[in-house]
A = this chain, B = another copy of it.
């Protein structure tokens, strides 16, 4: 158990001191005293795929290129071997344009769809579900000692959450090591930034664990499965459909992970229980992160 590990294993860690990500806002507290409070920023970022505007996401604004790439990938708008020829961020216009060598299949689908309904949102979700039919996640064992070690490290990592709150985090991990810790005002942005980083760096997914502060909803489970990651863990709870999808694709789904406790509602046959829960410290009150 790596209870006292430092954060040196991170390839990308949160940067809670980055000036652009928070702002001091004046207000009053319950005693009427004037206070200055660090509040997370939230900026619009409009994502284009070639010449087509896809979505305006609300984001803290770090890693816009990863967010755009990961969003498009997780929505099934980029093929497995898509030839991405450019990812151009314009800080003044708050836009990212992702360019592909040829028109994507998404554009064909959208073309067809707009004639009948005019909006892509429904289509997009349908496409995400559609993409799942090809997914078979590798049957890789998960050590509970690794899960406990990851939770302990992640909870102690300096982050915007600990500084300012009102933010979600998602962490890509391998074994007992957290590798890439992304935060954002939307939990889907945090996971999309991880997906964008994995796509850019051509990272293997089969040996990874994804940890999130957010709830294990259908969309979070679908995204994790589409990314090819076989294990998803969270401090938060489940939705029934999230559990159903996890079972269908063979994903190990662990929720309500706090201190020595957790609940596994899918893929528990892959758990290797090599840690004695009674040796794990119950979560100290001060370190108490929310269940998002």
A interface with B by C-beta (< 8 Å): 22-23, 25-32, 35, 37, 39-44, 46, 52-56, 58, 110-111, 114, 116-122, 125-126, 144, 164-166, 185, 215-219, 236-243, 256, 260-266, 268, 271, 273, 277, 290-292
Interface pair B27/A263, CB less than 8 Å apart: yes
**CB-based contact A118/B52 at 8 Å:** yes
User: In the assembled complex, which residues on chain B have CB atoms less than 8 Å from the CB atom of A116?
Assistant: 53
| Given A166-B236, A166-B238, A25 contacting B262 (CB threshold 8 A) | no
Contact present for B240 and A23 (CB under 8 Å): yes
Q: Which residues on B sit within 8 Å (CB–CB) of A53?
A: 116-119, 122
Given known A-B contacts A42-B240, A166-B215, A216-B166, A265 and B27 have beta carbons under 8 A apart: yes
- For residue A31, which residues in chain B have a CB less than 8 angstroms away from its CB? 277
Q: In the complex the two chains form, is B290's CB within 8 Å of A42's CB?
A: no
Residues of B within 8 A of A218 (CB): 42, 58
Are B52 and A265 closer than 8 Å at their CB atoms?
A: no
* Distance in angstroms between the alpha carbons of A265 and B263 in the assembled complex: 38
A224 to chain B, nearest CB (A): 16
Among residues of B, the one whose C-beta sits closest to the C-beta of A258 is B30
Can you sample 8 A-B contacts with CB below 8 Å? Answer: A23-B240, A35-B263, A39-B240, A39-B265, A53-B117, A54-B121, A58-B217, A166-B239
Q: Top 8 nearest A-B pairs by Cβ distance?
A: A166-B237, A53-B117, A27-B265, A42-B239, A165-B237, A119-B120, A56-B122, A42-B241
Considering only CB atoms, which chain B residue lies closest to A277 in the complex?
Answer: B30
Contact residues in B for A292 (Cβ distance below 8 Å) = 290, 292
Which residues of the other chain, B, contact A118 by a CB distance below 8 angstroms?
Answer: 52-53, 110-111, 114, 120
A162 to B56, CA, bound (A): 34
Enumerate chain B residues within 8 angstroms of A215, measured Cβ to Cβ: 166, 185
Does B243 lie within 8 Å of A39, measured CB to CB?
A: yes
For residue A104, give the distance in angstroms from its CB to the closest CB of chain B.
12
CA–CA, A219 to B113, complex, Å?
Answer: 27
Query: How far apart are A76's CB and chain B's nearest CB, in angstroms?
Result: 14
For A54, the chain B residues whose CB sits under 8 A away are 119, 121-122
- CB pair B165–A236 under 8 Å, yes or no, is yes
CA distance A46 to B157 in the complex (A): 40
In the bound complex, CA of A289 to CA of B217 (Å): 19
Q: How far is the CB of A101 from chain B (nearest CB, A)?
A: 20
Cα distance, A37 to B264, chains bound together (Å): 10
Distance (whole angstroms) from the CB of A53 to the closest CB of chain B: 4
How far is it, in angstroms, between the C-alpha of A215 and the C-alpha of B260 when the chains are bound?
A: 28
Tell me the smallest distance from the CB of A15 to a CB of chain B, in Å: 17
